[in-house]
């Protein structure tokens, strides 16, 4: 299937094309999953246990070419991302609106700001202004480390890059300002523990 992106630009966050979400994965020992798949499993746990309702946002797609080989088996041949998406996840936790993006990097010393799009950052900025809890969950793939990084801290690095600042966030700064999230059995990524610290 051909999928065309707005302006010919492909999104530079992690790909969701090879996500495995099979119910047979029930421990944190499987490191072959993408961050998105790990978060989806974590959100399923939170939902099933009445802790939070947080879902992956659907990507808006406009279908332009469908092959109707059979009435019961239509195949999408071509589609367009009809508009730029915002962040990856949103929902409600403890009566608070939660909005965040999930990013992975193979870089071991810094997180490139180019992994974010301007419209994603501005979306989080607006949600934050209106009282939402916004953040990024960043995974350093090679070291298998995950951090929750508050949007307010992200804004400082994002804005600084346009005034002579660096184009990445040093990992040391993410370790200093962020919340290190350790894998667990249930949920796989207990990121709401870090959100509790933000709320408190």
Supply the pTM of this predicted model: 0.74
Residue 11 lies in a domain: no
Residue 187 lies in a domain: yes
pLDDT of residue 84: 58
Measured distance CA(163)–CA(137) in Å, rounded: 25
Instruction: Report which secondary-structure segment, H or E, holds 151.
Output: helix 151-160
- Helix/strand/coil percent split, the chain, to 5: 30, 30, 40
Residue 168 lies in a domain: yes
Residue 6 lies in a domain: no
pLDDT of residue 163: 94
- The structural domain count of the chain equals 1
Using DSSP's 3-state secondary structure scheme, residue 97 falls into: strand
Residue 117 lies in a domain: yes
Residue 22 lies in a domain: no
Structural domain span for residue 94: 33-58+84-199
DSSP 90: E
pLDDT along the chain (200 residues), means of 10: 44 36 38 83 97 83 64 64 71 97 95 94 96 97 96 97 96 98 95 95
pLDDT of residue 73: 72
pLDDT of residue 76: 61
C-beta separation of 55 from 49 below 8 A: no
Look up the CATH number of the domain holding residue 145: 3.40.1350.10
Residue 132 lies in a domain: yes
Give the residue from 99, 84, 101, 116 showing the smallest Cα distance to 36: 101
pLDDT of residue 192: 98
Pairing of strands 74-81, 61-68: antiparallel
Measured distance CA(61)–CA(56) in Å, rounded: 15
Residue 169 lies in a domain: yes
């Amino acid at each position: 299937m051909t999928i065309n992106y707005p302006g010919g630009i492909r999104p530079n966050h992690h790909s969701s094309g090879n996500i495995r979400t099979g119910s047979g994965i029930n421990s944190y020992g499987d490191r072959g999953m993408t961050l998105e798949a790990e978060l989806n499993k974590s959100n399923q746990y939170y939902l099933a246990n009445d802790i939070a309702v947080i879902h992956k946002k659907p990507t808006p797609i406009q279908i332009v070419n469908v092959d109707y080989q059979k009435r019961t088996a239509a195949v999408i041949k071509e589609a367009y991302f009809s508009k730029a998406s915002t962040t990856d996840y949103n929902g409600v936790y403890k009566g608070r609106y939660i909005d965040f993006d999930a990013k992975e990097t193979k870089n071991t010393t810094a997180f490139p700001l180019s992994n974010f799009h301007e419209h994603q950052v501005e979306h989080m900025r607006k949600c934050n202004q209106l009282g939402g809890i916004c953040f990024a969950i960043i995974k350093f793939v090679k070291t298998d480390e995950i951090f929750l990084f508050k949007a307010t801290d992200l804004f400082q690095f994002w804005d600084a890059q346009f005034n002579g600042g660096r184009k990445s966030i040093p990992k040391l700064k993410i370790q200093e300002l962020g919340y290190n999230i350790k894998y667990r059995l249930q949920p796989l990524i207990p990121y709401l523990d870090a959100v509790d610290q933000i709320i408190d």
